[in-house]
Amino acid sequence: MFLYTKNFDEQKARAMEGLRRALAENKVDGDIIPLLEEINSLENYFTTSSCSGRISVMEMPQFGDKLNSVWLGKWHREVTVEEVMEAIGRHRSGQLWFLVRSPILHIGARTMDDAVRLLNLAIGLGFKYSNIKSVSHRKLLVEIRSTERMDVPLGEDGELWVGEEYIERIVDIANEQVRRFKGKLKRLEGEIERSNTGL
């Protein structure tokens, strides 16, 4: 069965308007904008949301409670130990976590064949957790996601459980992960730009 997205061009137009507003309001990670432009220049795809990956320090009432969590520090790049320690210094209550999240992109596709081609490209470039997130005539949505991730508990209710030497080590690991996933994003951008991927 040849599955395609109804009203694809209308959906893409709405998504592009939303992206223009987000860009105007500085709500898009700057280093991923060229990749979004490359994807959106393709006839059979459009982006709906994106994050270029991040390192963060977060205060949570309990792990997994995103609604009531507070960012103490958030960076879409490599960080210094000093930046992380400054964020940790703002911790007062709840659980304190050091987190790394890989890039994630949601991309609408015109047909199932288009979705599968993009998925195979992404997986081949190291985005191993990529998948087809939604399959219907109303929406075909590809999720591009990599494997890099860290969830490190650091303390609770103002108490720090680890020393600065340990924090230096996890910051080094986090920065290495950032370099890895930023490299994957650049390779994806390059493959799409060269237009030899058959997308």
Confidence band for 1, pLDDT divided at 50, 70 and 90: very low
Instruction: Give the number of domains in the chain.
Output: 1
Q: Is residue 1 part of a domain?
A: no
pLDDT, residue 199, reads 82
Q: Is residue 199 part of a domain?
A: no
Helix axes 164-193, 81-88, angle to 10 degrees: 120
pLDDT, residue 66, reads 82
Q: Is residue 117 part of a domain?
A: yes
Candidates 162, 185, 158, 151; CA nearest to 81 is 162
Task: State mean pLDDT over 118-142.
Answer: 94
Strands 70-75 vs 45-51: parallel, antiparallel or unpaired: unpaired
Q: Is residue 198 part of a domain?
A: no
pLDDT, residue 198, reads 73
Say whether pLDDT at 107 is over 80.
yes
Q: Is residue 91 part of a domain?
A: yes
Say whether pLDDT at 196 is over 70.
no
Domain span including residue 162: 8-193
Backbone φ, ψ for residue 20 (5° rounding) = -60, -40
pLDDT, residue 64, reads 79
CATH number, position 13:
3.30.1960.10
d(CA 22, CA 27) in angstroms, rounded, equals: 5
Q: Is residue 2 part of a domain?
A: no
Mean pLDDT for the chain overall: 94
Q: Is residue 73 part of a domain?
A: yes
